[in-house]
Amino acid sequence: MSETTEFKDVYEAIASVSPNRQNILYTVLEEDAFGEKAFFSDDKLVWESTKGGFFSQNQEEVGKLHDSGQATAAGKKLFCDCLGGEKRLVICGGGHVSMPVIQLGAAAARPVTLRANTLKATAEDIAAALDAAGIAHNPVAWYPDAFILPEAQVSDLWDLDIYRDGKIYLQSLSSMMPPLVLGAQAGEDILDMCAAPGGKTTQIAALTQGQAHLTACEMSIPRAEKLEANLGRQGAKNVPVMRIDARELDEFFRFDRILLDAPCTGTGTVISDNEKSLRGLTEQLLNKCARSQRALLDRALGALKPGGTLVYSTCSILPQENEDALQEALDKHMDCELIPLDGTPSESEARRAQEAGKEPRIESNALTEAIAAGHVSSVANGMPGTLTIPPSRDFEGFYIALIRKRS
């Protein structure tokens, strides 16, 4: 019997080796081997999901990949996750129905997180209310309006006035990032393209103190009704909700900024040991989402005003939904360019600086500053300048990119 058949699953294989060794989990992200997984320890194949499959055939080449993030071996994209050391969440899938997220050690659920709704209350007001209720809370270094409740349950908040009166919004930290990167300003025309249930829409309203011309779009009637209810509860006034498919947005519309948090497979949100969160993650779902995302991106870039910006985000870690989709959109919309989120200048800024003999200007925002300060970690993906944030104790996994239409 070969070494790779000794273990009934990857959990048992990981548990069998020393955490001090170089332990890496790989997943194929494309083509006929899509979803195949393997566990290597010190460059040796210990376990594979498909006996005699891609990893057996390309063991030597795969064993040379030692960094977390996306990589290529034998002409195929892989996701690599280095294990060992401190206990942490481990991604071991690529969107296949069996894409689990496991943890070395005890399973960990993310803590409750929320933000102050500054249309109705200040962060100081919320901190005082949590203190009065005896609920421990920690600040979020990169977003002063956000809180982490390390010991609380959501139900602990239900009877509080700050909850009933819409002075807080329960929202994941990952979900708070795209509106911050969008950087909406008072007086601008803003579109939240796939808006329900309204967390990001109400956050944009709060960040602009209700002074932007904000529009929300949601094609599902029940979800649109929930969106409208949340807008009302949060005090976000004069925000029209268009109950249409955003892919069919009228050519008449033009916006200064668009947030496209696209429907996706949700592969970045899977929590360890949660079989329910794995249900429905199929290749068919991935293909359906990828088609929709490309159509949404096409329409979003077409709806930008010259000089306008688009934030594209998903709660997926798969290239088919992220950098692959974005690259296709940029290839089609040659009047748009990527604004890097990795501390490098855009192509047009690099050219301008070179012609002027000056240092290029690097654009920054809450996310780039958080990464520079070490508060948020990212892993490499196939499109430099865009970011993939891996799942962790505090964050759901997500992808984010910033695009501008040239003036």
Catalytic residue (one of 92, 194, 264, 315): 315
Query: Are 229 and 166 a contacting pair, CB within 8 Å?
Result: no
Question: Is 315 designated active site?
Answer: yes
Pair of tokens at residue 131:
């203190």
Annotated active-site positions, please?
A: 315
